[in-house]
Amino acid sequence: MDQLPAILCLHGAGTNGTIFALQARNIVHALNKHFRFIFINAPFESRPGPGVVPIYLKMEPYLWWHCDESAAEQFDIDIYEVQRRRQQVRELLRSTLETENIVGVMAFSQGARVAVGLCLDDELGSRIRFALLISATFPALPIQEHMAPGSVVAIPSVHVQGTSDPWGAEGEKLRTTYFDQDRATLVKFTGGHTVPTVQLEVRRVVMAVMKVWESTVSQERMINGLSKP
């Protein structure tokens, strides 16, 4: 099992890695012959996120990632604290990427915003070969100080969106703003701001992920073959 490639898993705001593992358990179970799943915790404490209580009552700590300069006033922190927290998140992601064979990222809600920042990071982004974003919100949360305007994530991506998600428009905006549309796959499911758990809908997500992964591996083998003397 340790030889399997790994997917880095980023939870939503006001939850934690353990809660995300429970939320995504059906997807994880369906893919666990192909990947290991590395669930990590965001570094900052927060209140429980929407819908977390009472389902995940007493599953503290409730955590969140970081904010950008535009939201600093909302959270009563200055620009220097924004930069410090951004750097702290980046170092957490770096340390995980350096110790695990990470090939992809699976992220939910605010975690999807961080995942975009990771994919667009000049150094760390090159390690991510595909992205699975579930019930994403907007905008991206950069993990480096400067992110070039108009930056696009070129790797294959799967975007999972509930039909009654109150933040569905944000997920759509994240997909169309930051991702190569020729390499982005949209999977709709019946539900709100959550992770799909119904077997048929989980199967559609899994099929999309495996199609992306198999295509990625096939292309890499072809490129490596062409590069040999």
- Catalytic residue numbers read 109, 165, 193
Q: How many Cα atoms occupy the beta-carbon half-sphere of 133 within 13 Å?
A: 35
- The DSSP annotation for 36-96 comes to EEEEE--SEE-PPPTTTTTTTTT-PPPEE----GGGTTTTT--HHHHHHHHHHHHHHHHHH
Q: What distance in Å separates the CA atoms of residue 2 and residue 72, rounded to the nearest whole number?
A: 40
Residue 197: C-alpha distances to residues 192, 205, 207 (Å): 12, 10, 15
**By three-state DSSP, how is residue 16 classified?**
coil
The two beta strands, 44-45 and 63-64, are antiparallel
| CA–CA–CA angle 75, 79, 81 (5° rounding) | 70
Angle, helices 110-119 vs 79-99, to 10°: value is 70
Distance of CA 165 to the CA centre of its chain: 17
